[in-house]
Amino acid sequence: MTVEQAREVLTIEAEGIHAVRDALGPEFVQAVDLIMACPPNRLIITGIGKSGLVGQKMAATFNSTGTPSFFLHPVEAMHGDLGMVSPNDVVLAISYSGETAELNRLLSSLKERAVPVIAMTSNPRSFLAEQAAVVLNIAVPKEACPLGLAPTASTTATLALGDALAVALLQRRRFKAEDFRRNHPGGSLGERLKVAVREVMLTGDKVPTVSETAAFDEAISELNRKNLGAVLIIAASGELRGIITDGDLRRYLISRLLPDSSHKAGTDLAEIMTKTPVSIGPDTMAADALSLMQEKDITVLAVLDEQGRVQGLLHLHDLLGKGEFRFLI
């Protein structure tokens, strides 16, 4: 396969995700509501073949993000494992055609037990869709497989929709970083979030700082040199006076370009900086710092002692690891 062919496959799969995204409607909210309304909100995922493998990954994602879940194989369910399902559960059934024989047999049993079903299918008139309380459309324009036989774009799009559902539930539950840490006690991220901020923060020359009397271009040079998206403005006593972020600089420059701008040329950092930036103490737990970043929608935190003097700077990358993790919540 050439590079161009590989790119074509990725393009087709991306188009599949876009198609599923564009097809989303109020039924997605209904699915979230249904899961949240059934205590203890346990989500059982089922499917066979490639859909089953996608379902297993979904179950792992739901579990790690606060929605108790397990995968139920349709065949094993009909040979005793159906006993794990209670009327208080919700079943997420995955079948692109909606006419998978093994899954359809399970659906009939679930209906007898009054277990609500959320369907992921491309066929709204299928047996699966007819048995479901909510139908999520996973239709894609075409598969990346040149034979049109192996599920490729469809499984990718289904997996992405599962991630969207997991994140929506995470937000509805107000799932926090410390909750994620409790679910990942042995993982690298879990270990990183157990420590105090002082163990992962930047200190010394690594912290972008300038004096409160510094010129505008000096602050910008420091911001560019340290490349952390912010520079701390510090008094001679070491106390934090403010912070200038990339966003602050962008908003300032845009305001200067407006025809009716009242700004005058100058280098006073006070008119640009945020004077009461969000800060934390060095003994704060890293998990709590991550939750604060999420709450405030920021990526850097000034670390101060009790007198308000700068001790360091905490960047999102220092919590999650550069190149190792991405912000999940």
Query: What's domain 190-258+265-320's superfamily in CATH?
Result: CBS-domain (3.10.580.10)
Output the pLDDT for position 182.
60
CA angle 312-318-324, nearest 5°? 170
Question: Could you read off the pLDDT of 282-296 as tens digits, one per residue?
Answer: 998 888 888 888 888
Across the 329 residues of the chain, what is the mean pLDDT of every consecutive 10-residue run? Answer: 88 94 96 86 89 93 84 88 85 95 90 92 95 96 83 94 92 70 57 78 92 88 89 92 87 70 58 88 87 85 93 85 42
Output the pLDDT for position 146.
81
In angstroms and rounded to an integer, the radius of gyration of the C-alpha atoms of the chain is 26
Question: Could you read off the pLDDT of 164-190 as tens digits, one per residue?
Answer: 999 898 888 876 666 666 655 555 556
Question: Could you read off the pLDDT of 91-102 as tens digits, one per residue?
Answer: 999 999 999 999
Q: In whole angstroms, what is the distance from residue 211 CA to residue 229 CA?
A: 17
The domain limits of the chain are 3-175, 190-258+265-320
Output the pLDDT for position 281.
94
Strand order in the sheet with 209-211: 209-211, 230-234, 240-245
The answer to whether 240 touches 234, Cβ cutoff 8 Å, is yes
Output the pLDDT for position 190.
60
Tell me, what amino acid is at 208? P
Task: For the domain made up of 3-175, give the CATH fold.
Answer: Rossmann fold (3.40.50)
Query: Cβ–Cβ contacts within 10 Å for residue 26, how many?
Result: 8
CA dihedral 210, 213, 218, 219 (to 10 degrees): 50
Cross-strand partners of 119: 93, 135
Q: Give the orientation angle of helix 153-172 with respect to helix 50-64, to 10 degrees.
A: 20
